[in-house]
């Protein structure tokens, strides 16, 4: 198949024809989660967007190496260079080892990603497993004169870098503006300039995630891991780097600066950014506390939700918006996605029952061209889905007898639906798990009501046995200020 895929490159702010550096191989790196909490609806977006790209590139015949990292060290509260490590903070709160927190939430993340039918990446490197490589990169940057040591910390010298290269080329930020905006906010005396960012931080005595280094005991800066692990697994230059728009600045800007400072040229050919899932117009985020976890969506177990939504409904919800448009959460939009998904799947099973006739009144070749054109236009899934619904209309008309299809076209239509619905959009049929979860929720409510009455009557035996039986059934109950929440273990 002729390659006509265009993708919007944040670096050039244009759609560009996708031409891999070393075909048929394609290297794709995507920033993964900082694993200190359950995945929320926002996390589904980069996961599904880049899963779509991974699937489409493979469909086109490329051999894709997809690397998505796990951030398990160095990401400090508020994304700044000060404050606690997000993982260590959670570990302290829960009285766990930091790596216990990492393992626990990584496992849960993987389970959610599987439910969403995203393919696992080819490599999933952890930041904490690449400390030596990160130190090597720092040494190179120091050697080239773009970083300095200050009281056991190593900072990237943004001004010095900007004299030779261009800091801000990805985000379009101007260094003078950065200077004006950050000067007053910063109380970090050891930096030459407030916008300099940490490559290595000295660990204070209470900081538990720490490693020896030539500059003393400490830990790497957050931006370093992606610069380092992307090149380790994909080479000195590679094709695509993706992530959420919230990472464009400072995370990706700093990644570019680090790579260029170390090797004199950029590493990435195409930068791609998915827009945000918002709630009431604001980014949904772990640290903002305004998130709905994927488990809550799948079970309906959050006050904001009017019902449970299946994983495929969530996937369809994400795909029916273009990845570069913002997408606001609402029950109405999710219910519409549920209807759309069901209508699509009903047509797929109808398609399997269609019989070919000698006559033909439908144009499948044009439909096929339209579908490819939509995907090739920067993964325009809303347009693709609109074309597929034109296909649904054709299927239903053939079933009703108002249109006819011959054997050749029927074969083409089946291939088309199979390729786009299952292989590329990554949808799949599912048992009605949302309905069964809703039924389960009602049963739990009923048992909890009995427990409440038992407790009011000081009937502790009944109350305890209900708690134990729920636990035995693998259902965890957590008391909240509005009542309780349940989850499956
Ligand atoms: N609301 C969102 N919409 C789309 N993408 C998101 C959203 N929130 C996070 N992401 C993306 O998910 C990936 C992992 O992000 P991360 O673990 O930092 O999540 P987060 O909820 O933003 O956490 P925090 O609030 O601690 O920064 C990144 O690529 C990020 O851009
Ligand atoms: Zn990253």
Number of the ligand closest to the Cα of 37? 1
Strand ranges, E, within 98-253: 147-150, 153-156, 197-202, 218-220, 238-244
What ipTM goes with this model? 0.96
DSSP code at position 122? S
Q: Which atom of ligand 1 is nearest to the CA of 242?
A: 29
CB of 286 closer than 6 angstroms to any ligand 1 atom: yes
To the question of pTM greater than 0.90 for the whole model, the response is no
- DSSP strand pairing (277-279 vs 327-328): parallel
Question: Collapsing DSSP states into helix, strand and coil, what is residue 170?
Answer: coil
- 211-223 per-position pLDDT tens digit: 999 999 999 998 9
Domains and CATH numbers, the chain: 6-274 (3.40.50.620), 279-424 (1.10.730), 440-488 (no CATH)
Arithmetic mean of pLDDT, 94-107: 94
The segment with the largest mean pLDDT, out of 283-287, 326-330, 426-430, is: 326-330
From 30, 85, 106, 244, the mutation candidate for ligand 1 (largest count of ligand atoms within 8 A of CB) is 244
User: From CA 374, how far away is CA 449, in angstroms rounded?
Assistant: 52
Residue 43 Cα to ligand 1 midpoint, Å, equals 6
CB of 244 closer than 6 angstroms to any ligand 1 atom: yes
Backbone angles phi, psi at 252, to 5 degrees: -75, -35
- Please name which of 150, 230, 143 lies closest in space to residue 198, comparing C-alpha atoms: 150
Under 8 Å between Cβ of 150 and 188: no
Q: What separation in angstroms does the CA of 205 have from each of 127, 208, 217, 222, 294?
A: 22, 8, 10, 20, 37
- 438-488 per-position pLDDT tens digit: 677 778 888 888 988 998 999 999 988 888 888 888 887 877 766 777 777
Q: Whose CA is nearest to atom 30 of ligand 1?
A: 244
- 379-428 per-position pLDDT tens digit: 999 999 999 999 999 999 999 999 999 999 999 999 999 999 999 999 99
User: From CA 324, how far away is CA 274, in angstroms rounded?
Assistant: 5
User: From CA 19, how far away is CA 15, in angstroms rounded?
Assistant: 12
User: From CA 224, how far away is CA 452, in angstroms rounded?
Assistant: 52
* DSSP states of 264-327: SS-SEEEEEEE--EEETTEE--TTTT---BHHHHHHT-STT-SS---HHHHHHHHHTS-TTS-E
Does the CA dihedral 356-357-360-361 come out positive or negative? negative
Residue 411 Cα to ligand 1 midpoint, Å, equals 42
CB of 287 closer than 6 angstroms to any ligand 1 atom: yes
Please report where in the chains the tokens 């349940």 appear, as a residue: 486
Under 8 Å between Cβ of 474 and 444: no
Q: Which atom of ligand 1 is nearest to the CA of 34?
A: 17
């Amino acid at each position: 198949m002729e390659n006509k895929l265009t993708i919007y490159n944040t670096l050039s702010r244009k759609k560009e024809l996708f031409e891999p550096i070393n075909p048929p191989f394609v290297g794709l790196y995507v920033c993964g989660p900082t694993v200190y909490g359950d995945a929320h609806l926002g996390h589904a977006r980069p996961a599904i967007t880049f899963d779509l790209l991974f699937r489409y590139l493979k469909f086109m015949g490329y051999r894709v190496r997809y690397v998505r990292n796990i951030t398990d060290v160095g990401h400090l509260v508020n994304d700044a260079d000060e404050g606690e490590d997000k993982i260590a903070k959670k570990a302290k709160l829960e009285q766990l080892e930091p790596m216990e927190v990492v393992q626990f939430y990584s496992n849960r993340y993987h389970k959610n990603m599987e439910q969403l039918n995203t393919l696992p990446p080819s490599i999933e490197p952890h930041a904490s497993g690449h400390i030596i490589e990160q130190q090597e990169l720092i040494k190179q940057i120091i050697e080239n004169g773009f970083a300095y040591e200050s009281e056991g910390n190593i900072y990237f010298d943004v001004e010095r870098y900007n004299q030779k290269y261009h800091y801000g080329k990805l985000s379009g930020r101007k260094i003078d503006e950065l200077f004006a905006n950050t000067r007053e906010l910063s109380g970090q005396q050891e930096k030459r300039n407030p916008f300099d960012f940490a490559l290595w931080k000295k660990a204070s005595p209470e900081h538990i995630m720490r490693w020896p280094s030539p500059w003393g005991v400490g830990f790497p800066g957050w931006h370093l891991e992606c610069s380092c692990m992307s090149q380790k697994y994909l080479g000195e230059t590679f094709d695509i780097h993706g992530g959420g728009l919230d990472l464009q600045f400072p995370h990706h800007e700093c990644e570019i600066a680090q790579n260029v400072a170390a090797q004199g040229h950029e590493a990435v050919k195409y930068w791609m950014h998915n827009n945000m899932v918002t709630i009431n117009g604001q980014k949904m985020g772990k640290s903002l506390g305004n998130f709905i976890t994927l488990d809550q969506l799948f079970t309906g177990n959050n006050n904001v939700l009017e019902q449970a939504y299946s994983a495929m409904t969530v996937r369809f919800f994400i795909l029916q918006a273009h990845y570069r448009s913002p997408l606001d959460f609402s029950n109405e939009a999710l219910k519409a996605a549920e209807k759309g998904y069901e209508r699509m799947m009903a047509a797929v099973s109808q398609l399997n029952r269609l019989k070919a006739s000698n006559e033909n009144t439908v144009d499948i070749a044009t439909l096929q061209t339209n579908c490819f054109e939509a995907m090739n236009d920067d993964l325009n899934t809303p347009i693709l889905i609109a074309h597929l619904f034109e296909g649904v209309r054709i299927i239903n008309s053939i079933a009703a007898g108002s249109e006819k299809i011959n054997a050749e076209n029927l074969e083409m239509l089946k291939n088309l639906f199979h390729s786009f619905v299952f292989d590329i959009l990554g949808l799949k049929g599912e048992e009605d798990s949302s309905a069964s979860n809703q039924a389960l929720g009602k049963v739990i409510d009923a048992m909890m009501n009995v427990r409440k009455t038992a407790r009011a009557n000081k009937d502790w035996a009944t109350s305890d046995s209900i708690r134990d039986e729920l636990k035995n059934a693998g259902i965890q109950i957590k008391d909240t200020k509005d009542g309780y929440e349940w989850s499956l273990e």
